[in-house]
Amino acid sequence: VLEMIASYPPARGHPCMARIAFAAQNLKETFDADGLERIIGCLLEAEQLSDDFFTICEFAHVHRQGVARNTTSLMHLLQVTSPKAAADVRWKRILIRAVEALAAILREDELSSIRAEVTRLGIQDPNLQQKIFGRMRNLQKEAGARKQRQYRRGYDPVDDL
């Protein structure tokens, strides 16, 4: 129900969303990690960046392994974040923390799409960019080393043609 309400444009900034955020903040201990991720995404989509929202985010970070535990949920959060929401320093800090936590396990295509979303939102954090580029560099080194090992074992790519 919350996902339907959050996607309804007139609900953005409506007092009922503030009440929903307050209720979710009071019940945050009863939700599992997936439920908290969905609640955070819905409140973010409804642009409900209140103190209750940030209390839920902090609880998710401390007790449920962060606001985004996998690439799919992180991409969803980045996509529903508006530039207005990205301008909020508290949300920007939470997003940066989430991207940095997942950067070590992301693939190259995931890194480039996350970097594109971060750029779209106007998040200019040098440490975040350094983490993303460092991970991309490591992935390229691994791919180069893999090709070298194949070549040393007698593998000739021309044979595949």
Q: What is the pLDDT of residue 137?
A: 87
Q: What is the pLDDT of residue 52?
A: 92
Phi first, then psi: give them for residue 109, nearest 5 degrees.
-65, -35
* Prediction pTM value: 0.75
Cβ atoms of 72 and 33 closer than 8 Å:
no
Q: What is the pLDDT of residue 135?
A: 86
Q: What is the pLDDT of residue 121?
A: 92
Q: What is the pLDDT of residue 147?
A: 62
Residues 79, 51: Cα–Cα separation, whole Å: 22
As averages over each run of 10 residues, the pLDDT of the chain (161 residues) reads: 78 82 90 89 89 92 83 91 91 91 86 91 88 85 68 65 66
